[in-house]
Structures are given as structure tokens and as C-alpha cells.
Structure 1
């Protein structure tokens, strides 16, 4: 799915990480671990084309996505990528349903499956019947579940999750990882930046960003 080859990132005279090389396959969950400040989120942002590395390549299906132009970046984010942000990145003054509808690819709308997909996703995350609730009326845990439902509706090939359990209680954290695990088992590649040992233990592979190595 994604091949990261000799990737480096610097800020001024500081090298955050260098020569990072790791592959994430379809159907695999990879945990990015390391102390605060080691650059886990920055690495995720580079893969998601929200930031640019200073050297190296990120290859998707043989193409170096770090060289993509604006149109190619837009298409990659629309067709391939799903991102689970720490701040959820929801439209706060819109309803739950509206936030999920914007994630539906046009071809799914044409197939008439939009409403079924949204209803099923909300039921799966324990938000059934709350499709007309405004996002700003929801708790943090509920907003996280809406963000998860949005991922399920979009069905991306690659999910990038930045500390997805950081602000959640045990039950909500378990639900988040269960759904990411299900998406991975269905063929999605999932990359998670995390400090949570419970998340780490559910992943197929662990990459220590500060050590630039896979961990057994």
C-alpha cells in the first residue's frame, strides 16, 4: 500500500528523523511509537500530504506521492485516504448526518446506498438515531465516534490515526481500536501514532520513530 523510503524531516538545524524506511501493506495495522517530540504526528502528516519531508520518497502503487501536484493530492485524499484527527475535524455547526454525507464518494451516492451506509455506521459506533444532532452538542467521545463512522462510510484504502484514544475512556478507546481493526481486517492499511500500549498490542507491527526501526 505505502512504501516509505529514506524519508527525512528537519526544522531549521534540528533533524526530527532521517532515513525512515518502512512498508505498510493492505490489511496491516502499524503503530508509530516514540516519546513526545519524536515526530510521530509529523510522519503521519507527511504520509497524508499535510506536510512535506525534506528528503526521501513515499510511494503509493509505485508513484512518489510527495511529488504530487494539487490535483493529484486532492484525488489521493478523496479516493485513498482517511484521517482520524485528534480534534476530530468535524463541521461543528452541522448535523451528524451531514458530516457523514460529505465523506460519501459520488459513485456510492449514485448506487443509492448512502443512507443505508450512514445508518449502519452510526449503529456500529453506538450513535443510532442521533443523525440530526448538531456536532457542537456532542461530547468529545461522541464526536470521536462520529469521526469513526465517517471513516466507515468513506471506506478509505489507507487510514492515518493520530493518538485516536488519547482523550477517551477505556470503553470508547476499545471501540475505536475494534473498528480500526475491523477496517484493517477488511483490507484497509492503518497507521496509528500512539502512546497507548493497548493500541500497540492490537497492531500487526510497531515502528519506533525515535529509533527508526521495527520493534518486535
Structure 2
């Protein structure tokens, strides 16, 4: 599914040049669950942004399903990202002005799916995440665990092949964190490929492989 070759990312300002990723080579097969670990500032989120087509590398190649997407324009990246990649973030990234149902509906609207099909997919996703009884509630009326369930429902409502998760339990207590990781593990067992950035060794134990980054480079890969 994913292959990078000598991936590099440099951030530049007028006076400073920062090398965030240096010659990153990684392969992820369909159905894998990868945990990316390392100290703060080592390039984990930068790598996730590139793999999620939110940004391009400065140099190197990124193959997604056999296509080199490393030089894609923002329009091309957006088009490929829709329906193929789901995102789960530490801070949930829900829209405060929209209720649960409407937040989950967003990616389906972007894809131009009919109202009847949207309703069916949203209800299935809410049932799956056990939040149907909260569909008219707004994010500020939900607990942290419930908000993350909404975020996961939004990520899976398009049935993507790949889910990218950036510290998905970072704002949750241990009980809710364990429940969220169990949901991600269940999705992975059903065939969804998951790449997760985490500081938590407990969360990493759900993965099939741990990739450790340090100063923008992969230093170890551990099969679980």
C-alpha cells in the first residue's frame, strides 16, 4: 500500500532551515497496524502529514498504491485523499457548530454522496461507535471519549482503506483510551490499514510493528 524512498522534508524560514525528515524509507502492507514512536520533535507528525497527503516531501518518493504522489498538487492530493484515507487526531478536530450527525456527514458531503446513502452510512457508523443516542448533541455536550468516537465514526464512514491516527488517546483517560484502541484494533482486524503516531507504549502494543524515529530518521523497526 505504502512505500517511501529517501523521503526528506525541510522547513525553511528567512533565516532558519530545519530538516524534519531525513532519508525515511518505510513500507506498509495492506492490513498492517503500524505504531510510529519517538521523542517530541522527531518528525512523527510530519511523516503522518505526508503519508496522509496533507503535505508533500521536499525530496524523495512516496508511492501510494503504486502511484508516486510525492509531486502531486494540492488539488490532486485532495482528490486522492477523499474516500481513501480517514484521520483521527488527538484534539478530535470536530466542528463545534455541527452536531454529531453533521460532523460524521462531512466527508460524505465532500464526496457528493446522495442524501439517502449518506443517512445509511452515518447510521451504520454511529451504531458501530455506540453514539447513535448522541446524534443531535454538539461536541461541547460530549465527554472526551464520546468526541473521539465521533471522530473515528467520521474517519470510517467512507470506509477508507487507510486510517492515520495522531495520538488518538492523548486527551483521554485510561478507560476511554483503552476503548478507543480496541475500536481501532477491531477495524484493523477487518482489513483496514492503520498508521498511528503515539507516545504510549500501551497503545503501541496493539500494533503489528513499531517504527521508532529519532531526529527525523528511522532508527529501529520492531515486529510485534
Normalised by the length of structure 2, the TM-score is: 0.87
Could you tell me how far apart the structure 2 residues matched to 1:20 and 1:208 are? 11
Which residue number corresponds to residue 181 of structure 1?
A: 185
Which residue number corresponds to residue 172 of structure 1?
A: 176
Q: 2:77 aligns with which of 73, 79, 86?
A: 73
Which residue number corresponds to residue 148 of structure 1?
A: 152
1:190-201 pair list within 5 angstroms: 190-201=194-205
1:8-157 pair list within 5 angstroms: 8-11=8-11, 12-104=16-108, 109=114, 112-157=116-161
Could you tell me how far apart the structure 1 residues matched to 2:79 and 2:19 are? 30
What CA RMSD, in Å, does the superposition of the two structures yield over aligned residues? 2.0
SS, match of residue 104 in structure 1 = helix
Which residue number corresponds to residue 160 of structure 1?
A: 164
Deviation at 1:175, TM superposition (A): 1.8
Deviation at 1:215, TM superposition (A): 2.3
Which residue number corresponds to residue 214 of structure 1?
A: 221
Deviation at 1:54, TM superposition (A): 1.7
Deviation at 1:86, TM superposition (A): 2.1
Deviation at 1:108, TM superposition (A): 5.9
Deviation at 1:18, TM superposition (A): 0.9
Normalised by the length of structure 1, the TM-score is: 0.90
Deviation at 1:208, TM superposition (A): 0.7
Q: Give every structure 1 segment of 4 or more consecutive aligned residues whose post-TM-superposition deviation is greater than 6 Å.
A: none
Which residue number corresponds to residue 3 of structure 1?
A: 3
Deviation at 1:43, TM superposition (A): 0.7
Could you tell me how far apart the structure 2 residues matched to 1:16 and 1:67 are? 18
Could you tell me how far apart the structure 2 residues matched to 1:150 and 1:91 are? 12
SS, match of residue 66 in structure 1 = coil
Deviation at 1:147, TM superposition (A): 0.3
Is 2:145–2:177's contact at 8 Å kept on the other side of the alignment?
Answer: no
Could you tell me how far apart the structure 2 residues matched to 1:97 and 1:38 are? 36
Could you tell me how far apart the structure 2 residues matched to 1:62 and 1:133 are? 41
